[in-house]
Amino acid sequence: MLRQLMTLLGIAVALGASGCGDQTPVVTPSNTAEGLWFGTTNTNRTLKAAVLDDGTYYFFYSVAANPNQIAGVIQGTGTSNNGSFTSPNTKDFGIGVTVLDATISANYASRQFLNGSITYSGAGTVTFTSSYNTAYDTTPTVASLAGVYTGQAGSSGGVQTANITARADGTFTGTEQNGCTFTGNATARTRGNIFDQSITFGGAPCFFAGSTFQGIVYFDIPTRQLYTAAPNSLRTDAAIFFGTKIL
pLDDT in tens, 200-214: 999 999 999 999 999
Q: How far apart are CA 119 and CA 86, in angstroms?
A: 11
> Where do the domains of the chain lie, and which CATH numbers do they carry?
4-136 (2.40.128), 140-245 (2.40.128.380)
Q: Which pLDDT score, from 0 to 100, does residue 106 have? A: 98
The pLDDT tens digits of the residues spanning 108-167 come to 999 999 999 999 998 899 999 999 999 999 888 999 999 999 999 999 999 999 999 999
**pLDDT of 26 strictly over 70:** no
Burial of 82 (0-12, 13-18, 19+ CB in 10 A): exposed
Residue-wise pLDDT for 38-60, tens only, equals: 999 999 999 999 999 999 999 99
pLDDT at 23: 40
Torsion of CA 83, 76, 73, 97, to 10 degrees: 130
Taking alpha carbons only, the member of 225, 202, 229 closest to residue 214 is 229
What type of residue is 26? V
Q: What is the mean pLDDT of residues 228-232?
A: 98
